[in-house]
């Protein structure tokens, strides 16, 4: 039997017969987080206590927890996928045991066909590891005093991409973005889109940063919750 394999945006890989009948659908994007395809949470829980944390809205217990049974989830997925590692916590927090991180990094190295997006508020801990070439190393920056994290991301060893997530953007920020390959900008999750004052404030803070990134020709991803009039959702190449 002759088969046709097609790729449909936001739908994934479509396996069809030569006659055009659908045989199987392999969905790539399986999360509502716009800039990734899938989340992988072998660790949950966090001690940053950020006042804007959306995870705390639906997680009653934020005690850091390791799930051994989730470790092999990426290896079972054969379609090349962008995987956001630890959405419901921070795997690089100082409270996370070294052994947990090591086990996760070993799984990442076993899945070279995937891209693993690492994001943290404590990037200094990344410096203790040589990151595999299929990782994107990122830091969260919400205000000017967080900008030292950008310097640390620049110093990480061997990630494929170095990126910064300005989400939620809480103030005007003047960052040095040299050596940065990708920028995400967003408002506070599930807030700005519903409260006009917050939306206008987020856009006000974001505007000079957006133009800075565009002028530097850095790929830019604007989250939908920013309600920017033009859709800009680029990825690094």
User: What is the 3-state secondary structure of the chain?
Assistant: CCEEEEEECCCEEEEEECCCCEEEEECCCCCCCCCCCEEECCEEECCCCCCCCCHHHCCCCCCCEECHHHCCCHHHCCCCCEEEECCCECCCCCCCCHHHHHHHHHHHHCCCCCEEEEEECCHHHHHHCECCCCEEEEEECCCHHHCHHHHHHHCCECCCEEEEEECCCCCCCCCCCCCCCEEEECCCCCCCCCCHHHHHHHHHHHHHHHHHHHHCCCCEEECHHHCCCCCCECCCC
Whether 237 maps to a domain, the answer reads no
Dihedral of CA 83/88/90/91: which sign? Answer: negative
Torsion from C-alpha of 122, 125, 131, 135, nearest 10 degrees: -10
Q: pLDDT digit of tens for each residue in the chain (237 aa)?
A: 434 444 444 444 444 445 555 444 445 557 889 999 999 999 999 988 887 776 667 677 789 999 999 999 999 999 999 999 999 999 999 999 999 999 999 999 999 999 999 999 999 999 999 999 999 999 999 999 999 999 999 999 999 999 999 999 999 999 999 999 999 999 987 654 455 567 788 899 999 999 999 999 999 999 999 999 999 999 998
Query: Do residues 51 and 138 both lie within one domain?
Result: yes
Query: Do residues 21 and 114 both lie within one domain?
Result: no
- How much is the pLDDT for 85? 98
User: How far apart (Å, rounded) are the C-alpha atoms in residues 14 and 221?
Assistant: 26
- How much is the pLDDT for 141? 98
Query: Do residues 36 and 22 both lie within one domain?
Result: no
Rounded to two decimals, the pTM is 0.85
User: How far apart (Å, rounded) are the C-alpha atoms in residues 150 and 106?
Assistant: 26
Query: Do residues 170 and 84 both lie within one domain?
Result: yes
User: How far apart (Å, rounded) are the C-alpha atoms in residues 138 and 33?
Assistant: 15
The total number of structural domains that make up the chain: 2
Query: Do residues 23 and 37 both lie within one domain?
Result: no
Query: Do residues 16 and 120 both lie within one domain?
Result: no
Whether 170 maps to a domain, the answer reads yes
- How much is the pLDDT for 59? 73
Nearest to 86 by CA among 102, 69, 66: 66
CB 126 within 8 A of CB 133: no
Question: Which residue range is the domain that position 23 belongs to?
Answer: 1-29
Query: Do residues 73 and 105 both lie within one domain?
Result: yes
CB 169 within 8 A of CB 144: no
Query: Do residues 58 and 116 both lie within one domain?
Result: yes
Query: Do residues 186 and 162 both lie within one domain?
Result: yes
Query: Do residues 3 and 53 both lie within one domain?
Result: no
Angle (nearest 5°) at CA 186 between 184 and 191: 160
- How much is the pLDDT for 3? 44
Spell out the residues 6+ positions from residue 195 whose beta carbon is closer than 8 angstroms to its own: none
């Amino acid at each position: 039997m002759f088969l046709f394999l097609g790729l449909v945006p936001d739908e994934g890989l479509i396996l069809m017969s030569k006659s055009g009948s659908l045989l199987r659908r392999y969905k790539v994007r399986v999360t509502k987080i716009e800039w990734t395809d899938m989340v992988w949470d072998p660790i949950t829980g966090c001690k940053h206590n950020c006042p804007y944390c959306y995870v705390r809205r639906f997680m009653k217990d934020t005690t850091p927890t390791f799930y051994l049974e989730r470790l092999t989830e990426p290896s079972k997925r054969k379609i090349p996928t962008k995987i956001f590692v630890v959405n419901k916590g921070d795997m690089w927090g100082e409270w996370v045991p070294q052994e947990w991180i090591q086990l996760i990094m070993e799984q990442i190295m076993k899945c070279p066909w995937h891209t693993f997006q690492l994001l943290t508020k404590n990037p200094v801990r990344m410096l203790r590891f040589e990151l595999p070439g299929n990782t994107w190393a990122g830091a969260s920056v919400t205000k000017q005093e967080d900008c030292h994290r950008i310097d640390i991301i620049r110093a990480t060893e061997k990630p494929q991409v170095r990126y910064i997530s300005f989400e939620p953007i809480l103030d005007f920020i003047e960052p040095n973005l040299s050596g940065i390959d990708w920028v995400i900008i967003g408002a506070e999750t599930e807030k700005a889109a519903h409260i006009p004052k917050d939306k206008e404030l987020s856009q006000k803070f974001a505007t000079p940063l957006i133009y800075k990134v565009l002028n530097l020709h850095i790929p830019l991803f604007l989250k939908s919750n920013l309600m920017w009039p033009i859709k800009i959702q680029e990825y690094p190449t």
